[in-house]
Amino acid sequence: MSKPATFTDIIPADSLFGKLRTCAPDAWQSYVCHDFIKQLGNGTLPEAAFKHYLIQDYLFLIQFSRAYALAVYKAEDLHAMRQFSGTVHAILDMEMKLHLEFCEGWGLSEADIIAQPEARACIAYTRYVLDRGHQGDVVDL
């Protein structure tokens, strides 16, 4: 039986992602070998930790859609505006809906999720992206 392909097997080493991964092997290993990922993979992650992740991921998606909406505003032409607008639509009307459907299986409603505070890490990351986007251009987003 052959070994199943992994994410790193699929991405060419000469792609931007491949080059970034090669230039930062310690960061990549800490990312893919994090305890959360290991526990999730082997089924030992506590349910409370997984629910916290689901909540934070939804709260992240709200800010992520704002970043793409800002990209619509910052875009230099109609083609780019339409592309970014399509991503906003996909996040708000499709991805977030799918996320909520999955969360319902874990006993989490949208009201439950929205009532939770954003974690500091989520705030730090998303507000950094939005701040850079406000100060710079689409590339900064």
Encode pLDDT of 33-62 as tens digits: 899 999 999 999 999 999 999 999 999 999
Residue spans per domain, the chain:
1-33, 46-135
pLDDT of residue 31: 86
Asked whether the beta carbons of 117 and 58 are under 8 A apart, the reply is no
Q: What percent of the chain has pLDDT over 70?
A: 94
pTM of this structure: 0.83
User: Which two three-digit tokens encode residue 2?
Assistant: 């052959």
40 Cβ neighbours under 8 A, 6+ residues apart:
50
pLDDT of residue 7: 62
CATH of 46-135, one of 3.20.20.70, 2.40.170.20, 1.20.910.10, 1.10.357.10: 1.20.910.10
CA-to-CA dists, residue 140 to 26, 67, 97, 115, angstroms: 25, 10, 28, 30
> Residue 121 class from Cβ within 10 Å (0-12 exposed, 13-18 middle, 19+ buried)?
exposed
Encode pLDDT of 76-120 as tens digits: 999 999 999 999 999 999 999 999 999 999 999 999 999 999 999
pLDDT at 6 over 70: no
